[in-house]
Structure 1
């Protein structure tokens, strides 16, 4: 409305406003100071805003009652009383919860984030409020209401168009990063560069500062100089031990069913525990409870299907997904061709698959019961042999590699709103991890000069079974105080095993093979049980002047037989948020009871997970983090940060050493224990536009390790001491329904141990054990890792559904980035070792097609 007046009495102005707008304005003239007048000029303003301005000089305010505006005194009894506005935010299209959505007043004087279930509780003073509801990729909605009692408001937000989505996402991304977290929406994952046409949350995470892998995704994530086993990865609240298909090239997480992902690299809240480096919390969708829909996808290496819909509309839903590689036949044919080209025989077969299932039930308006299940794994089998003669000598070799690994997760969740500002989450879960690997390698030569047959056989097994129960309680006392409490119990069963047999036979060439069944009997693996009881308390409070503190403590008691470890880990963080700047400072004490024992440092699934025991102390860590951010404009920001972490009682193995794990506990005494440090600085710049998004980040960091029993007790560079790395990404809208993505990364090479030549032969019980000689651990740095990826996405619609085509080129520069060193014996002199840098992927084109039905 528009309205103008000069020196008019307030009662006259109120009557004119009521007549002009048709809104009944109720007031008492006896309570209005008759000596004052009103002068105002308003153009295209809201009526309530005009009324508020003209009433302020008279010490009056207004209330909206039944569609009428009542003019009351600012001293009206109960005006400063507080009430709770609470409810759930869900999507309009599918009824999905919108986790961590923002709920705030339009003037930004108060606000909260929803919890992981989309529940919010905001305490406000009695009166009129304009409340904004916002979530990434959805249309923002504003509710005008008078709050005079505790009120429940459940909101549903509709999906937005592309332009709005980009702007809102950038705003939320910056907001969450102010609190030391990095948020990954489904669109951010989809726009990250794909490998072989597969969208992947871990690929998106790997493009952030401070995060690296061995090469091309192999070996899991290293966050700020930590090992891959130091990351707590939660999938719908269930811990996951190994996250990779194809040795880490593709994650086990199906991007089509992910609702929300958050990475915490520093400032760990007290509710998380058990790891030293990072938290990755992934939540899957509940399934559409409004209508049925599905998705079919075919990429370069795999196909997947998703189906979801209501069991009972608004009350129950289901979500099912299945994914499997279809590359088995051409992997076999290609491997057979390569082997036969080298005058050998054999083939390689490989496949992976995963299944997700989820059932969700809403019991009334305050309770949700969910059942989740995941089962996935990989199967690799390779057998190659050669037998040839040359210049009177016969050469024979055999290489067998059989590996299987996989996860099985199951959980039951009960989420309840116990009161107007109290929320409870109860989960019972099972997490199982199993891996076994069998390797056989033989090199033999039969000539006039020498007859020698050297063979090695390895068998590794790792099983981890976790059965847990956890309860979390959130209490929003008022707008300035949020309390979190929780407790949990988990029972663990570990079954590690490793046996290695190496021998030299100087008789006739011995063609027999030590089979997997034979060597696994020699391993004689035992199971080791442990249990852990945890509890935490956490308070998040607003100290005023845009200063937010999070203080808490995470406590744990761990038992292994008669051995008990107890820990209290304080956590603290401070966030100062201005209009255009923000500052974060945090520190945390951490403890980890489970570690992975690796003999190659690559984080392959054959690593053994072991538990703290009488001889293996739990790993302890300290993590400090600070960052300073600047909002340069509505579409750009820059962040600068620094971190420091220290670790002790971490474990490792020496190069060329084989630790036999064949039952009992004596082997635990032989595991080297040491300490580590990592520190560095990070910087990032983000810019967004309706037609483009650009991001660049850089990290300069150092990471080292020191073990009394390794490297002569001297400090050495950690494998993932990259020193310097930078990632650049550009997402450009090339048309109404097309987009181009470009990703470039430069990272200083990782460190590996290079044998300096020669062998040591030790005889024990008649056996000959042969080892390369390593004069230093991680004494060689690979060349820099450089990769450029380009991809194009095309979207369209038809009567069938929505179509999406991705065409991309991985490693455009055809850079040969080494993954690991292959150390093998020379066929002509078995005492000489040949060393080759192995790179996996040259330039690799990829293609994927996705059909979404019912969306």
Structure 2
């Protein structure tokens, strides 16, 4: 009897297992006309709750019981793709989607799917999909994604002439900016008038505001992950544009049709070309220009293996006659291998190079000298993603970066000693799980374990007393690890769907930052200095909690959301009064350390479809620091503190040819330290300062207008002309405010405001063939 029961049980188990046998369909989703992989495409099974999305490399994996299905694939800007599938074994299937139309580049602010803001557990994330014609007003004829993200809630502009931005109270250096996985340390061209990102070469941009997945790390406030286009693997194309002060050209095409492709994109400004018309001979010698170059190759060796090689190089040149000059630039390179081990396990292996350098040269009064500063990274990444079953995917991997910082090397007639190179090693290991617990509950959870080691060599280390004076100096042998910091960084976010059109979300995330940017100016500039964590400069830490509500209306045509956050920060850095961070003396005695806090609420209302589209975003926030030795140890506003921040964006299609647009921006002036008094020393006026950041510059506001006209649209050629007026009502927004003695009354002091832009018109011609 026992044997019979056992046999029946085994037969039942075998039958049950067979009945539940599942197979996996996997592959990539791409654009049928170009071969570009599509990030965030949604795969759904008709009549079933099962589904998945493509990852950042366009890969998907979906496991289902054996049977026949109708598969539907959706992505904004593409026709819905539907096909029948009989699943009897594991299958690899490449899916091609057809664009709804073929237009020139547009930046569309969107979620990954129409209702991804409702269903996803991820909080504080925005995606810019660079795909079709952008109707937003532009500056100098350039479509700049860095300017567009500053129109989103929680993201604050650093002002005119600056591509720096502040996210949820963080400083500009607390944003991790990645271009094809390589770090870009300075994203500005032409002193911030342009960013280094040429929209012709960009496929996708994702911005995470402090609650990023565990594979990202190294900064406190945000991650901006930019992916370059792969290049068209079907046919050869060229596109470009000619503007008032810059032009660009983009070439792409197949290396081998359906298997490999290339992309080359170049851009150059000729702002200083007009100086030749000046009657001043010295003015003709001035230099103000930049150029950059993007390139990418990819080749698919098999259905399971694909290789990518991409790079960026850009340079700025600023010179005043033969008196002085500043050159700065970025260089990046990424070699990446995508491999599919099996239908459920996807791998991305990368070797990455990043470089940023600036050189400041002075030739005057018998001085002919220069100072060079460089930061150089070699980075190895291994990322694995395992699709366990529908609704549950596991990510894990490692990241190892070797940093080399050259703080300052002097050359020429100046005899100041050069600072030695500083070597450090940053590592991270992470594991994360994206779990659809039920139809309503989604959870993303993970942990990142980061370590940072700094080495000895020619660089010196110090001990400081209570007054921050050096009491001891010591060195270590080259290659010897002086100290290692270890920090766990847990991440957790969850969403609960109240119904098909609304959800609530909550998140917690810890981040650690080991590299720090020092500046003695109120605005970001090329000569800001990066320093590494050491025995005195501790790793910066942040803990952020956030809560949000999202609601969509009228079949996702309208979208609204509200998010609130609180972020505490440890080991924040500020400077003593009159600190000289650009000198080659030891920097540690001039630094002070403490804590920070940032909190606020972000509102977004957006219309996604129709002839009229756009959004309104508003942020109410505070950012404060408490540093021992400043303001009697009391809390004070951080420089990037902006209480109110409002952006209104609208685009309207007048006809098939004409589109008009406008955006309005208003935000509270940033906090600054102004003199509270003055006194005379040897007939020289010396200003007296009291509280740090106790004053504010005037509020910033402007209105931009734009219009785009399609000139021609044929099968093999299309063109357009774009008009825009930046700062339409000519408001003089402050760039800097300085103080000087009134030349007509020595007892009075004058505040002198410098403004950059008033009534800036631009026109550009764009083409594609």
Question: TM-score under structure 2 normalisation?
Answer: 0.88
Name the CA distance, whole Å, in 1 between partners of 2:629 and 2:360: 27
Equivalent in the alignment of 2:348: 425
Distance 1:148 1:215, change over 3 A: same
Equivalent in the alignment of 1:479: 390
Kindly indicate whether residue 578 of structure 2 is the aligned counterpart of residue 656 of structure 1. yes
Name the CA distance, whole Å, in 2 between partners of 1:297 and 1:523: 46
Distance 1:379 1:677, change over 3 A: same
Equivalent in the alignment of 1:154: 94
Equivalent in the alignment of 1:690: 610
- Say which is worse superposed, 325-334 or 455-464, in terms of deviation: 455-464
Name the CA distance, whole Å, in 1 between partners of 2:575 and 2:310: 37
Q: Secondary structure at the match of 1:712?
A: helix
Name the CA distance, whole Å, in 2 between partners of 1:168 and 1:203: 12
Q: Secondary structure at the match of 2:632?
A: helix
Equivalent in the alignment of 2:226: 282
Pairs aligned (count)? 721
User: Does structure 2 retain, via aligned residues, the 8 Å contact 1:790–1:808?
Assistant: yes
Kindly indicate whether residue 509 of structure 2 is the aligned counterpart of residue 598 of structure 1. no
Map 1:533-548 to 2 at 5 A.
Answer: 533-548=427-442
Equivalent in the alignment of 2:660: 740
Quote the offset at 1:779 in angstroms: 2.2
Q: Secondary structure at the match of 2:698?
A: coil
Once the two structures are superposed, what CA deviation does each residue of 1:547-598 show, in whole Å capped at 9, x if it has no partner? 1111111111111121111111111111223401022211011100001001
User: Does structure 2 retain, via aligned residues, the 8 Å contact 1:656–1:773?
Assistant: no
Name the CA distance, whole Å, in 1 between partners of 2:148 and 2:254: 31
Distance 1:234 1:76, change over 3 A: same
Counterpart among 42, 67, 71 of residue 102 in structure 1: 42
Map 1:428-447 to 2 at 5 A.
Answer: 428-437=351-360
Q: Secondary structure at the match of 1:204?
A: helix
Name the CA distance, whole Å, in 1 between partners of 2:274 and 2:741: 30
Kindly indicate whether residue 538 of structure 2 is the aligned counterpart of residue 611 of structure 1. no
Counterpart among 554, 574, 597 of residue 633 in structure 1: 554
Distance 1:95 1:659, change over 3 A: closer
Map 1:444-523 to 2 at 5 A.
Answer: 461-497=372-408, 517-519=412-414, 521-522=415-416
Counterpart among 66, 71, 78 of residue 131 in structure 1: 71
Map 1:278-677 to 2 at 5 A.
Answer: 278-331=222-275, 348-383=286-321, 402-437=325-360, 461-497=372-408, 517-519=412-414, 521-522=415-416, 524-561=418-455, 562-577=482-497, 578-634=499-555, 635-659=557-581, 661-662=583-584, 666-677=586-597
Counterpart among 183, 202, 214 of residue 158 in structure 2: 214
Equivalent in the alignment of 1:448: none
Distance 1:227 1:439, change over 3 A: farther
User: Does structure 2 retain, via aligned residues, the 8 Å contact 1:213–1:720?
Assistant: no
- Say which is worse superposed, 168-177 or 467-476, in terms of deviation: 168-177
Name the CA distance, whole Å, in 2 between partners of 1:636 and 1:427: 39
Quote the offset at 1:716 in angstroms: 1.4
Map 1:760-799 to 2 at 5 A.
Answer: 772-795=687-710, 796-798=712-714
Kindly indicate whether residue 730 of structure 2 is the aligned counterpart of residue 807 of structure 1. no
Quote the offset at 1:652 in angstroms: 2.3
Quote the offset at 1:428 in angstroms: 0.4
Kindly indicate whether residue 762 of structure 2 is the aligned counterpart of residue 846 of structure 1. yes
Q: Which of 1 and 2 has higher RCO (CA within 8 Å, sep 6+)?
A: 2
Consecutive unaligned residues in structure 1, runs of 5 or more = 1-74, 385-399, 443-454, 500-515, 763-767
Kindly indicate whether residue 177 of structure 2 is the aligned counterpart of residue 261 of structure 1. no
Question: TM-score under structure 1 normalisation?
Answer: 0.79
Q: Secondary structure at the match of 1:288?
A: coil
Q: Secondary structure at the match of 1:330?
A: helix
Superposition RMSD in Å = 3.0
Quote the offset at 1:497 in angstroms: 3.5
Quote the offset at 1:518 in angstroms: 3.2
User: Does structure 2 retain, via aligned residues, the 8 Å contact 1:462–1:609?
Assistant: no
Quote the offset at 1:461 in angstroms: 4.7
Counterpart among 77, 82, 87 of residue 142 in structure 1: 82
Counterpart among 603, 618, 623 of residue 703 in structure 1: 623
Quote the offset at 1:690 in angstroms: 2.6
Quote the offset at 1:401 in angstroms: 5.0
Quote the offset at 1:650 in angstroms: 1.9
Q: Secondary structure at the match of 1:161?
A: coil
Name the CA distance, whole Å, in 2 between partners of 1:162 and 1:288: 14
Quote the offset at 1:828 in angstroms: 9.3
